Amino acid sequence: MSAPTPSPLAIVDAEPLDRQEEVLTEEALAFLAELHRRFTPRRDELLARRAERRAEIARTSTLDFLPETAHIREDDSWRVAPAPAALEDRRVEITGPTDRKMTINALNSGARVWLADFEDASAPTWRNVVLGQLNLIDAYERRIDFTSPQGKTYALRPAGELATVVMRPRGWHLDERHLRADGRPVPGALVDFGLYFFHNARRLVEMGKGPYFYLPKTESHLEARLWNDIFVFAQDRLGIPQGTVRATVLIETITAAYEMEEILYELRDHASGLNAGRWDYLFSIVKNFRDCGRKFVLPDRNAVTMTAPFMRAYTELLVRTCHKRGAHAIGGMAAFIPSRRDAEVNRAAFAKVRADKEREAGDGFDGSWVAHPDLVPIARAAFDAVLGDRPNQKDRLREDVHVTAAELTDIASLHAEPTFEGLRNAVQVGIRYIEAWLRGLGAVAIFNLMEDAATAEISRSQIWQWINAGVEVTHEGRTVPVTAELVRRVAAEELAAVREETGAEAFAAGRWQQAHDLLLQVALDEDYADFLTLPAYELLD
């Protein structure tokens, strides 16, 4: 069979969408094809390297700082490029998908930065991929508005400072099946980056800003090097000055936590900072150490806060690393969604958010994430109290911090055990999130928390780990093992509860059975799926 004839354009294989021609221009599709040919082979090699490293962790049950890059860590002379003015003050960042309503609300929110998310907070339907790009273009052109089904109209503020956009493309593992080049799907990361950069880089420069990115699920400094090479090529290709791009890397994998300085070094001409997350980070720990014995078993996900000793080691090392190299350290997510009916729930949750943000500001972080506009003033007040008129606290070097390799994976330092309620919550949240994701929603309010794909990943991973590690929990006064049979029973009960809660008609109109079946597939299969979103993507319309 002969190889497909190379095309100068990436080929679209999808039903047409309104106004897609404004995004999928011939020039943009040619740019995607160029990115694909130059960089997808290296992407493939790095994905293979992930598998090799994971096998090594399974064999040794350990991780360490890399001896071959010690010279980078020991060289005190290098720094990342100075932050552009638009990213000098990042004390509050709001996150969310790029649907039309969220685009307006995030830009108007009062946050300094909006993480415009094509990754975990966005189900990668073709509509979301293309129209999300269009919404950003419309926002920059100030021609965006939205009217809700209830008749409420949303529009950008006519004056005043809007949040600076930092766009998050998809991770390297997910291909975009609706765009092909040379007979292969183009990686979703290149689609998201390429379309955004092609259409907006010059426009943003003219606005006094630039194309800024959050890089997700990075697992090594070699993956950071790939991104840096992409930035260099893209800037040259479109005639944008080198160093215009800025990237903040999410340290949300356990392997990346051991390579933070090297990641900043590889991106040093384009680096803006590092971010400390929770759910993807815990998911990565389970994924990599899932068959390494009981000492790596995590308790209920809500019991693992950022104050757990191994999480403190991770976040404090991140702050020290960033400030040593002149980069911003950005803290984790406040995911609470205010209740419209229960003021007491809101008061208690707001107090927890305030304490969390005060802790981050006190630890030296330069900013932090929130999921809802009502949390912006709370986070801002916490950082204002520490920063005052300063844009950041990068001068606080945290030289008191000394973290060993073993401390980053000292799961046993957390004195908490898995519980039956934790198992039930994992099943409940997993089914409810996956059902919404299959309908095209990536950011979903569940039990007053804004959940995204990382939530489902840690939920199903913990179920898998607890079964395979022989975990026991207390239920109805008895000690019972966590087994596939128990999980199936809990899942069946949850499905019945949802049917009762929603009513038969709404239940039938949803994707509940598919969500139930997929959760059990990725939680119970002997072969652990690297990402839940890979089999889930095959079910997306």
For residues 133 and 464, the answer to whether their CB atoms sit within 8 Å is no
Q: Which of 463, 456, 423 is nearest to 537 (CA)?
A: 456
CA nearest neighbour of 453 among 131, 128, 47: 128
Residue type, position 363, single letter: D
On whether the CB atoms of residues 118 and 192 are closer than 8 A, the answer is: yes
Tokens 């652990």 — which residue? 528
- Which of 90, 100, 168, 325 is the catalytic position? 168
- Burial of 485 by CB count in 10 Å (0-12 exposed, 13-18 middle, 19+ buried)? exposed
Instruction: List the one residue out of 189, 126, 447, 479 whose CA is nearest residue 302.
Output: 447
Write the CA distances from 39 to 28, 42, 201, 485, integer angstroms: 16, 5, 20, 44
Cα gap 334→353, rounded to integer Å? 6
CA 445/CA 374 separation, integer angstroms: 14
Q: Judge contact between 209 and 203, C-beta under 8 A.
A: no
Picking from 191, 184, 176, 182, the residue whose alpha carbon sits closest to that of residue 230 is: 191
Q: Are 106 and 116 in contact (CB under 8 A)?
A: yes
Pick the closest to residue 267 from 237, 306, 222 (CA basis). 222
Query: For tokens 């939530």, what's the residue?
Result: 455
Contact present, 277 and 168 (Cβ < 8 Å): no
Distance between CA atoms of 532 and 507, rounded to whole angstroms?
A: 23
Which residue spans within 288-327 are E strands per DSSP?
Answer: none
Give CA torsion, residues 490, 492, 497, 503, to 10 deg.
Answer: 170
Residue 351 CB neighbour total at 10 angstroms = 11
Phi, psi of 110 (to 5 degrees): 90, -5
Choice among 356, 380, 452, 460 that is catalytic: 452
Residue 168 is among the residues annotated as catalytic for this protein: yes
Output phi, psi for 331, to 5 deg.
Answer: -85, -175
365 contacts 329 by C-beta, under 8 angstroms: yes
Length reported for the chain = 541
Tokens for 59? 């064999």
Catalytic status, residue 384: no
Neighbours of 397 (CB within 10 A): 14
Phi and psi torsions of 199, nearest 5°: -85, -20
Is the distance from CB of 69 to CB of 192 less than 8 angstroms?
no
Torsion angles phi and psi, residue 491, rounded to 5? -65, -40
Catalytic residue annotation: 168, 452
